[in-house]
Structure 1
């Protein structure tokens, strides 16, 4: 399958730039896209920078509320914006359980979060 423009640079954005955005950036890279990830919370080690944003052609937000916060903090120019709606908070995904071990959290992400990311981005891949 030859897609429209595999040379376009994609930046996937979530809160910390370590879970949803990293997974999706890795997935897109595996398909042949030039993808990176970043977070918007100041405490992340993978913080979005204006330079990363300026070098991107497409910005993918994993949640609408992340896009809203991002737009208050950063300037965008010509970038195409794609907004997904994929929750990863364990208290929402598994309200019946108060806490999760790292391996339990990973199981939840693999069962509920990552498949939803793939499903939602698949709807946009032909336009990338």
Structure 2
């Protein structure tokens, strides 16, 4: 089973989920960014995927609007990753503080939502 995971740039959330799934024993997992300028490469990955996972509603919507989806199972997670939207004081974070926020708030939410779909079939 070929699993493809999308976040914005293919560097943080999709990578985290790919590593998580590999740790669970899924061995054909790739991650990508919906903002990747190489649309042909992304379309080829989509064409090969049996399961496509997006980390947020707007990425799911953009995927549907931009690419040709086939009969792959599409899982749209609903995880907010912006500290200014989650933290009570609505502050922006950078650097190590931003990464700590991802580890403390975003990654557990991604894992919890994805776990509801496991095992992937």
TM interval, shorter chain, is 0.7 to 0.9
Select 2:48's aligned residue among 47, 55, 64.
55
Structure 1 gaps, min length 5: 1-7
State the partner residue of 2:100: 107
State the partner residue of 1:84: 77
SS at match of 1:77: coil
Number of aligned pairs?
Answer: 119
Q: CA deviation at 1:93?
A: 2.4
Divergent runs of 4+, >6 A: none
Q: CA RMSD in A?
A: 2.0
Question: Quick check: 1:38–1:48 contact (8 Å CA) kept in 2?
Answer: no
Length-normalised TM-score, structure 1: 0.83
Larger helix percent? 2
Length-normalised TM-score, structure 2: 0.88
Residues 2-48 of structure 1, C-alpha deviations (whole Å, 9 max, x = no match) = xxxxxx111011111111111001110111112111111146x9x96
State the partner residue of 1:94: 87
Counterparts of 1:13-92 in structure 2, within 5 Å, are 13-33=6-26, 34-42=28-36, 49-92=42-85
